[in-house]
Chains A and B, each alone.
Chain A
């Protein structure tokens, strides 16, 4: 379904481009590049959701807040380093220190949450830890608000030599985005090696598969669960600094939207699937970068009557095919095509003012569509038998 939306949007945008109102090729490339950078950040947050769901079978709603705590602590570290002058004089050492500080605080927050709020609920019905995590998320948000105040604080901007636009493979890319993608890729590879190669990683996979059997095999399940939260928290900490580099502003509500989007990414990639989570993040980032422009402008697409009639007929065929095959997604796709055709025939155009306001609607729509139509994800879920229900 999400793919369908993207395709529809692309077609609309291309049509717009033909009319000369759409984005230029250069603007397109920009959107794609920034989409990938944002997406790799979402991917890192998504890992935390995915791993916890894989092991414990519930949505850790407070993970966005873990990210936020990292971003806030990272800000204060970055600010201190900027005052000392290290940020400008030796950016790589500075950013390394900031990442370490952010990772440590996020990891600490994640582990603490697990110990206080989730561990006593190990065997509770699924919704109970979810409700608890909503409470935790609420608590952390407001605690941070009361501790450091409501102001949005801005990371110091990256040094000029890094922000400079460079020509890489025909794309105009700023050094910041290269840094973001490289940091994300390195963390991701590190995590993948950890989960696939190390003994602890193997224990994690075993626990995700079946806790009881894992315990019988001599694995300390509680320790592995703490490790899962720690690793997820550390990745959120890295993502928090990427957020600082890309968007700079952080405050106590910074965690909510990225958290929701990252959860969408985790589901899109197949929950419990680590590589899937990362690529789900990149897909979502791309969709978010391109989506609002394309999907919403696509609605203003003028369709010639002949094409409209063709679309209605084609849509009808697709609906019948979908019904015959018992695929609801296909039926919806057909119905949407019919609607598009009818809109074209009647000569409707929907011009939407204030497009940027609807950016989050696109993000939430993506969430809703992914969860409804593709809850198993694009790359397959990896859940233990008990969590699948």
Chain B
């Protein structure tokens, strides 16, 4: 399937002053559209509540300010056609960036005039008078236009200048900006941590009393991060990983062991010093790591795109609820989820068996289907399970829309683990995550794991090599189901009640985004993905660090899924194998160019 349409290589600009005007006008229009979109979905108004740098920068304005910089940068950059001459850098990049910024400011001013003159709230519910107020700064329209056009022209110029600047300067600038923003955004956690360590004087010094960095400390931070960026080696994460992988095996093993021990120590001791809110956040992240690891086995290792994964989560949660809640309508002798008595382990065993049964029930009919049909069928199963839990028909067993409440929580001997004690919940989840990581890691290198990879690469060939494809796919399904059902069990204990509304398709998609952003088939990737997404943006109902983003997080999840697929399908922290699969073309091309026949990879059949 090679239908590459050859785009005629455009001749690179001949001089430092030859600006590609059509590119500039295109990028200016795109930037304008992006600005209008961001303002129309209410980001500016809602995020304005979050002060980043007291008193002049809020998250709301930041959501606009990055646009001219980004598009100024892209308008100035040019793709070098294969085998072509790299375009000359120079004044033209600055002009391109500046004009792009000014154009976007111009379009944005038009937009402000329109929403000021006409009341469009009947159609666009977020174009409120408050937005006009924020965008005009209470000044006249002429002054507003001047502010936006000139301001965005300057920001566009910065974007264009970044193309010309030396890598060291560029790194210093981006580190400074990113560092200040991150420190400002992480205010809650940093404050919490400093209180736990009794060093509040630091945060009192950095942050203003009612939120946001103090301007002075922002400048100091920018300088510090800038200097660090200037000094840094500038290697990308991938390059570092490549280097790491090429070290001798003993060194690698030693380093990995040290890293693992440090991580375990951090997991044990950090929750002790941070507050309840942060522990809650950790617990949510852990829950999604657990589910992500499960889905990673199904999607990442075995290549079966399961969109109904939430069904297994629901099975675990409902099984626990039915068995332990005194209010569960059907099952009367309630069991106690005590991990030091046989009752607790009986519950774990029942959850495991139920998960395995449901995994087999869903898995058996679908595994013969081709990949994309399998995705849709599992989606159907997931929705069926949810609607059944919701229905009046099964309400005598599962409580219908009211769900099952009063789940008493778990205990280890005398220690109570319930939703009110986030720290204990976190340790419980950490134990399960630890087990899941171990299982996933051992499976990956086992005979089964190798069979999964073989299956993902080419099912026919795998079958020809004597792999029982049906059995091996079912194993993946069941393993994934068991991990999800354990997550469901912990979820029931943590929340204390289960409702069908907690098990929407949304949850499956979010877990999928975690796996994909992290890196399909990569265990550390899933952890990174969950920490970044659930920790920062939040889960389907759980708030993340950026609580203000609550309304926008699903939009961002959707966008992330698309961007990752387009730009980096192997994820942030890819497994080596997956990276090679997805970039085999480039790698074989590199090998061919450098004349190294040894690394010649077979071109993958898409």
Listed in ascending order, the chain A residues whose CB lies under 8 Å from chain B are 58-59, 76, 116-117, 120-132, 134-143, 146-149, 151, 211-212, 215, 220-222, 260, 263, 267, 352-354, 357-358, 360-361, 364-365, 367-368, 371-372, 375, 386, 389
Contacts and interface: CB of A to CB of B under 8 A. Distances in A.
B555 A146 contact: yes
Interface stretch (B118-126, B145-153, B226-234): B118-126
Q: Which of B303, B370, B558, B606 has the most CB of A within 10 A?
A: B558
B41 A143 contact: yes
B381 interface: yes
Q: Which of A116, A120, A124, A140 has the most CB of B within 10 A?
A: A124
Contacts of B390: 357
Contacts of B551: 146
B562 interface: yes
A59 B372 contact: yes
Interface string B123-140: 111100000000000000
Q: Which of B37, B40, B388, B569 has the most CB of A within 10 A?
A: B569
B384 A368 contact: yes
A138 B41 contact: no
Contacts of B606: 123-125
B571 to A, nearest CB: 12
Contacts of B392: 353-354, 357
A266 to B, nearest CB: 11
Contacts of B303: 127
A375 B373 contact: yes
Given A135-B561, A146-B552, A212-B3, A121 B566 contact: yes
Interface in B525-553: 551-552
A139 B566 CA distance: 15
Interface string B339-382: 00000000000000000000000000110011111011101110
B40 A389 contact: no
B120 to A, nearest CB: 10
A147 B387 contact: no
A372 B559 contact: no
B184 interface: no
Contacts of A135: 513, 557-562, 565
B593 interface: no
Given A124-B569, A124-B606, A147-B126, 18 more contacts: A121-B565, A126-B372, A127-B371, A130-B375, A131-B516, A138-B557, A141-B558, A146-B126, A148-B123, A211-B1, A358-B387, A360-B383, A361-B387, A368-B381, A371-B380, A372-B365, A375-B373, A386-B1
B555 A142 contact: yes
Contacts of A76: 123
A142 B372 contact: no
B42 interface: yes
A375 B366 CA distance: 11
The 4 closest A-B pairs by CB, nearest first: A135-B561, A139-B558, A138-B558, A354-B392
A212 B513 CA distance: 33
A131 B558 contact: no
B126 A221 contact: no
Contacts of B559: 135, 139
Given A148-B123, A148-B124, A139 B384 contact: no
B125 A148 contact: yes
A120 B387 contact: no
Given A122-B3, A132-B565, A364 B383 contact: yes
B305 A131 contact: yes
B393 interface: yes
A138 B509 contact: yes
Contacts of A117: 562, 566
Given A59-B376, A132-B562, A389-B370, A211 B3 contact: yes
A124 B2 CA distance: 11
Contacts of B555: 138-139, 142-143, 146
B594 interface: no
A26 B380 CA distance: 33
B5 A134 contact: no
Contacts of A372: 365-366, 369, 377
Interface residues of B, number: 55
A125 B581 CA distance: 10
Q: Is the interface of A mostly helix, strand, loop or mixed?
A: helix
Contacts of B366: 372
A160 B390 CA distance: 38
Interface in B550-589: 551-552, 554-555, 557-562, 565-566, 569
B482 interface: no
A52 to B, nearest CB: 12
Contacts of B370: 375, 389
Interface of B: 1-5, 37, 40-42, 123-126, 303, 305, 307, 365-366, 369-373, 375-377, 379-381, 383-384, 387-388, 390-393, 509, 512-513, 516, 551-552, 554-555, 557-562, 565-566, 569, 606
Contact of B41 (A140, A146, A267, A386): A146
B381 A134 contact: no
Contacts of B554: 138, 141-142
A129 B371 CA distance: 12
A59 B303 CA distance: 17
Nearest to A263: B376
A136 B562 contact: yes
A260 B1 CA distance: 28
Q: Which of A120, A125, A222 has the most CB of B within 10 A?
A: A125
A147 B124 contact: yes
Nearest to A351: B393
Q: Which of A117, A147, A220, A222 has the most CB of B within 10 A?
A: A147
B383 A371 contact: no
A138 B561 contact: yes
Given A136-B558, A139-B558, A372-B365, A365 B384 contact: yes
B33 to A, nearest CB: 11
Contact of B305 (A123, A127, A143, A360): A127
Contacts of A352: 393
B565 A131 contact: yes
B393 A358 contact: yes
Contacts of A126: 371-372
B17 to A, nearest CB: 32
B581 to A, nearest CB: 8
A142 to B, nearest CB: 4
A248 B557 CA distance: 30
Nearest to B401: A357
A130 B387 contact: no
A141 B557 CA distance: 12
A357 B372 contact: no
A361 B384 contact: yes
B391 A357 contact: yes
Given A139-B558, A353-B393, A357-B387, A131 B512 contact: yes
B124 A367 contact: no
A365 B565 CA distance: 30
Contacts of B384: 361, 364-365, 368
A123 B1 contact: yes
Nearest to B46: A146
9 contacts: A59-B376, A131-B305, A134-B509, A146-B42, A148-B124, A151-B125, A358-B393, A371-B373, A371-B380
Contacts of A134: 307, 509, 512, 561
Nearest to B564: A135
A37 B375 CA distance: 29
Contacts of A147: 40-41, 124-126
Contacts of A139: 555, 558-559, 561-562
Contacts of A136: 558, 562
Nearest to A384: B1
B558 A221 contact: no
A221 B5 contact: yes
A329 to B, nearest CB: 12
A221 B562 CA distance: 23
A264 B392 CA distance: 26
Q: Which of B2, B369, B377 has the most CB of A within 10 A?
A: B377
